[in-house]
């Protein structure tokens, strides 16, 4: 099991207006924390990072800043959807390398996904996921990678 679980708060965007009007919105980050606790991860081992993350790059920058202030963490296991895993890995590796953090980045694609990486061209939803990820990878390589290199 892990020594520490890091979860970055995501941006709630338009949902903030609903909260201001009294609606209770449960963030996916809070759902992830609650699920981890239900699966036996002690609450004391879960770090909820502020960050109002709007993108994977925002999450990587928040984690990089956190790891730079912590003595010792040398391994990071990314958990994401199988379709998103490649891009998440690319972004985290770029950001952590730029911060001179000698951190191993492992990947654990969620098994709770219907995405089939071996036959993605057979389902409309999988085709859409792959095309969307390729566009986002191009965006990262052409535009955001420069931001990742100068943000720290």
Average pLDDT (18-38) is 81
Give me the sign of the Cα torsion angle 12, 15, 16, 19: negative
Phi, psi of 8 (to 5 degrees): -95, 130
Model confidence band, residue 117 (pLDDT cutoffs 50, 70, 90): confident
pTM: 0.81
Taking the C-alpha atoms of residue 75 and residue 146, their distance in angstroms, rounded to an integer, is 25
3-state secondary structure of 78: strand
Share of the chain above pLDDT 70, in %: 89
Place of tokens 């296991």: 77
3-state secondary structure of 107: strand
Nearest alpha-carbon partner for 104 in 65, 72, 75, 63: 75
Model confidence band, residue 139 (pLDDT cutoffs 50, 70, 90): very high
Model confidence band, residue 21 (pLDDT cutoffs 50, 70, 90): confident
Q: Give pLDDT tens digits for 49-101.
A: 887 788 899 999 999 999 999 877 788 999 889 999 999 999 999 999 999 99
Taking the C-alpha atoms of residue 142 and residue 21, their distance in angstroms, rounded to an integer, is 40
- pLDDT at position 1, please? 41
pLDDT at 14 over 90: no
């Amino acid at each position: 099991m892990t020594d520490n679980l890091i979860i970055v708060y995501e941006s709630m965007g338009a949902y903030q207006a609903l909260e201001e009007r009294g609606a209770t919105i449960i963030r996916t980050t809070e759902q992830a924390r609650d699920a981890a606790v239900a699966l036996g991860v002690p609450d004391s081992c879960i770090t909820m990072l502020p960050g109002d993350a709007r993108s994977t790059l925002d999450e990587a920058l928040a984690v990089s800043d956190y790891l730079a202030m912590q003595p010792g963490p040398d391994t990071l296991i990314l958990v994401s959807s199988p379709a998103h895993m490649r891009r998440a890995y690319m972004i985290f590796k770029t950001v952590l390398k730029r911060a001179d953090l000698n951190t191993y980045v492992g990947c654990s694609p969620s098994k709770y996904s219907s995405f089939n990486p071996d036959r993605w061209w057979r389902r409309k939803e999988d085709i859409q996921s792959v095309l969307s990820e390729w566009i986002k990878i191009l965006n990262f390589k052409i535009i955001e990678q420069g931001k990742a290199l100068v943000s720290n």
